[in-house]
A and B are shown apart, each in its own frame.
Chain A
Amino acid sequence: MTTAPQTAATKTAGRSRTVPGPRRVRPRGRIGQTLVYVSLVAASLVVLLPLAVVFLTSLKTSSEATDGGALSLPGNWLNFDNYATAFSDGRMLTAFGNTLFILLFSITGTVLIGSMTAYAIDRFDFRAKKLVMALFLVATLVPGVTTQVATFQVVNSFGLFDTRWAPILLYMGTDIVSIYIFLQFIRGIPVSLDEAARLDGANSFTIYRKIIFPLLKPAIATVVIIKGITVYNDFYIPFLYMPSQELGTVSTALFRFKGPFGAHWENISAGAVLVIVPTLVVFLFLQRYIYNGFAQGATK
């Protein structure tokens, strides 16, 4: 039992070690260094400016937003009326509820399915193993956006159209990236653990539940974070499969701001800020995991 947590520990230690690489190499010359900082500050402004303006707009009154310039400051910095409107007329509360519901089920499902698949593929020898691997591998190449035309018919034939189960099943069933993350991690867990448990009379399911699954915690954390952010941000699937107003997710509810609020940019901005803030909070608290997770997710 000791080896696996250790490898996990050394792994994270390796990751958190501050800046390996060209640490001691100082950029030569004052001018070079100044230019580097100038470029960094410029990039930061490019990132921040559009967001800051929307935040400012969200605090303005309707007349301030229409008459004042885009970069003018709001008269009252504590004017949260637009946020109240976004919640009441924009159905943001329902949207957050729906998104939470979908997140809960699809993340649980993804973790279970991904870890089970990884366990079966890594710990067992069976015929058609190569074929199963190939099926999962080829599926990564099929971009989800292209197949929705036909996926729609499948979902519809199950009677799941316009229910929250349609996106849940789709998020669960088409996530191959997380399977790879689990697969990579499970290889680091020594097989001797399984064998020891088997000698003690544990069957495969017990081994999965009592030994493998708990040791997969770091991988589970990665998958939960990546999957959570991806599902939270997804627009395409809820847009296609849940047209009902009361089934709006964060993305689709915000998208519907476009119609009723028309040119009321102060309301639309408040909605956008409401959607961005949870992401910002999660990012600030889980920065390191997020960098690693997305790097892992994209290279798989």
Chain B
Amino acid sequence: MTETTEAVSVKTHRATPQRRGTSPTGGSPRTRRGRDRALRRATPWLFLLAPLALLITFTYVPVGNMIYYSFTDWDGISPDRNFTGVDNYVQIFTRPEIFRVFFVSFYYLGASVVQIAVALYFATVLSFDLRFRNLFKGLLFFPYLINGVAIGFVFLYFFQDGGTLDTVLSWFGQHPDHAWLGDPTSANTSLAGVSVWRYTGLNFVLFLGAIQSIPGELYEAAQLDGATRWEQFRYIIAPSIRPVLSLSVILAISGSLAVFEIPWIMTGGATGTSTFVIQTVKLAFQFNKTGLASAAAVVLLLIILLITWIQRRLVPDEKVDLV
């Protein structure tokens, strides 16, 4: 971060004196070339000025501050804060009620497994020529586009006592008389189910895109060789969607650690459905424990960076080279 700002200032410094030097005379060919070169050198920075300023202000400064706050007992308002060392981190790992929320992530992790499997199945099925193909594709994808608050309300009604789910179950002679969002296990399972409903569409479209980019000749050749459908899936489809699959797994893991919207809207984190992000938001903005909340956020950030790093190690992705 500091390096770039330095680089920026170095560049502009270098550019200005030369420009100033040339202006009064109008310039001999040599100075003009020097001025042009300086201007050319400064040009990319002129274009990058606003983007970098925003990037640094809203991503790197907060990350830096967050790490700093995490070592203090700041409440977010008062001017004085005390340096408390690693006390916040010790609290996170030793106070069970703070650490416990991590286990809620497992519900969502399980949900992502279901989600990826379902998406993979429908992507494979719909890559073949079917009637109403586009209709089914649209239906499966649409939930991903819906506003999260609307989804939360739709499913609050769905899980309500005597609501949609209970009514449908009663058609099949089932009469479960417990509130779906009433106890931690059932509530978390229900919320994770909502997350499957919401996000399967994205995975599905990603997989479908990858499968459809496989040249058709491959299947024809495989068919000529007498490959079964399973063999086609195993040896043609599966290898070609591996990059997208690994990406989905990473998104699923980091996503299940950072769940916020659905439980916040539907239960507000009650009955054991609080997630790590909900807890952090509550610590920071309801209990004014900015220091502790920052430490929690740093822990989450480190975990997500670690997971991403592991993934990059395991699956060297050719898409990473951007320059």
Q: Is the CB of B55 within 8 A of A150?
A: no
Is A275 an interface residue, CB under 8 A from the partner?
A: yes
Report the separation of the CA atoms of residues A146 and B162 in the bound assembly, to the nearest whole angstrom: 37
Report the separation of the CA atoms of residues A183 and B322 in the bound assembly, to the nearest whole angstrom: 9
Nearest CB of B to A228, in Å: 11
Task: Give the residues in chain A near B25, CB-CB below 8 Å.
Answer: none
Is A13 an interface residue, CB under 8 A from the partner?
A: no
Q: Is the CB of A229 within 8 A of B145?
A: yes
B145 touches which of A151, A172, A236, A279 (Cβ 8 Å): A279
Task: Give the residues in chain B near A114, CB-CB below 8 Å.
Answer: 51
Interface of B is mostly: helix
Q: Is the CB of B150 within 8 A of A254?
A: yes
Task: Give the residues in chain B near A154, CB-CB below 8 Å.
Answer: 57-58, 61-62, 65
B304 touches which of A44, A120, A141, A172 (Cβ 8 Å): A141
Knowing A44-B136, A135-B52, A142-B63 are in contact, say whether A20-B323 is a contact too (CB < 8 A).
Answer: no
B3 touches which of A128, A280, A292 (Cβ 8 Å): A128
A44-73 interface code vs B (CB 8 A; 1 in, 0 out): 101111110110010000000000011100
Residue on B nearest A250 in the bound complex, by CB: B147
Q: Is the CB of B7 within 8 A of A135?
A: no
Enumerate B214-265 residues with CB–CB distance to A below 8 Å.
214-216, 219-220, 223, 229, 232, 244, 247, 251, 254, 258, 260-261, 265
Report the separation of the CA atoms of residues A265 and B161 in the bound assembly, to the nearest whole angstrom: 13
Is A298 an interface residue, CB under 8 A from the partner?
A: yes
B23-54 interface code vs A (CB 8 A; 1 in, 0 out): 00000000000000000110111011011101
Q: Is the CB of B258 within 8 A of A143?
A: yes
Q: Which segment of A1-9, A23-31, A74-82 sits at the interface? A: A23-31
The interface size of chain A toward B, counting residues with CB under 8 Å, comes to 105
Q: Is the CB of A233 within 8 A of B212?
A: no
Q: Is the CB of B260 within 8 A of A145?
A: yes
Enumerate A140-179 residues with CB–CB distance to B below 8 Å.
141-143, 145-154, 169-170, 172-174, 176, 179
Is A294 an interface residue, CB under 8 A from the partner?
A: yes
Q: Is the CB of B55 within 8 A of A139?
A: yes
Q: Is the CB of B261 within 8 A of A236?
A: yes
Q: Which segment of B91-99, B105-113, B125-133, B180-188 sits at the interface? A: B125-133
B157 touches which of A24, A53, A139 (Cβ 8 Å): A53
B137-177 interface code vs A (CB 8 A; 1 in, 0 out): 11111111111111001110110101110111000000000
Report the separation of the CA atoms of residues A176 and B55 in the bound assembly, to the nearest whole angstrom: 9
Task: Give the residues in chain A near B216, CB-CB below 8 Å.
Answer: 20-24
Is B122 an interface residue, CB under 8 A from the partner?
A: yes
Is A285 an interface residue, CB under 8 A from the partner?
A: no
Residue on A nearest B136 in the bound complex, by CB: A40
Is B319 an interface residue, CB under 8 A from the partner?
A: yes
Nearest CB of B to A179, in Å: 8
Report the separation of the CA atoms of residues A250 and B148 in the bound assembly, to the nearest whole angstrom: 11
Report the separation of the CA atoms of residues A128 and B41 in the bound assembly, to the nearest whole angstrom: 12
Interface centre among A21, A135, A146 (most CB of B within 10 A): A146
Report the separation of the CA atoms of residues A269 and B154 in the bound assembly, to the nearest whole angstrom: 7
Enumerate A250-271 residues with CB–CB distance to B below 8 Å.
250-252, 254-255, 257-258, 265, 268-269, 271
Task: Give the residues in chain A near B145, CB-CB below 8 Å.
Answer: 229, 233, 279, 283, 290
Task: Give the residues in chain B near A26, CB-CB below 8 Å.
Answer: 128-129
Is B76 an interface residue, CB under 8 A from the partner?
A: yes
Task: Give the residues in chain B near A142, CB-CB below 8 Å.
Answer: 59, 63, 301
Report the separation of the CA atoms of residues A143 and B250 in the bound assembly, to the nearest whole angstrom: 13
Knowing A19-B129, A127-B7, A233-B146 are in contact, say whether A135-B60 is a contact too (CB < 8 A).
Answer: yes
Is B104 an interface residue, CB under 8 A from the partner?
A: no
Enumerate A76-101 residues with CB–CB distance to B below 8 Å.
none
Residue on B nearest A269 in the bound complex, by CB: B157
Is B195 an interface residue, CB under 8 A from the partner?
A: no
B302-321 interface code vs A (CB 8 A; 1 in, 0 out): 00110010000000000110
Residue on B nearest A233 in the bound complex, by CB: B147
Nearest CB of A to B141, in Å: 7
Q: Is the CB of A254 within 8 A of B54?
A: no
Is B69 an interface residue, CB under 8 A from the partner?
A: yes
Is A181 an interface residue, CB under 8 A from the partner?
A: no
Is B101 an interface residue, CB under 8 A from the partner?
A: no
A99-124 interface code vs B (CB 8 A; 1 in, 0 out): 00000000000000110110111011
Q: Is the CB of B251 within 8 A of A298?
A: yes
Is B82 an interface residue, CB under 8 A from the partner?
A: no
Report the separation of the CA atoms of residues A43 and B21 in the bound assembly, to the nearest whole angstrom: 72
Is B78 an interface residue, CB under 8 A from the partner?
A: no
Closest 6 CB pairs between A and B?
A173-B54, A120-B47, A124-B44, A150-B66, A150-B62, A173-B58
What are 16 residue pairs bridging A and B, where the CB atoms are less than 8 Å apart in the complex? A22-B129, A37-B130, A40-B122, A40-B126, A40-B136, A43-B139, A53-B164, A130-B323, A135-B1, A147-B301, A151-B62, A173-B57, A174-B55, A235-B148, A298-B206, A299-B206
- Given A149-B294, A204-B40, A268-B157, 15 other A-B contacts at CB below 8 A? A20-B215, A40-B136, A46-B197, A50-B197, A113-B54, A116-B50, A117-B48, A128-B4, A135-B55, A150-B63, A153-B76, A173-B55, A176-B55, A233-B148, A299-B319
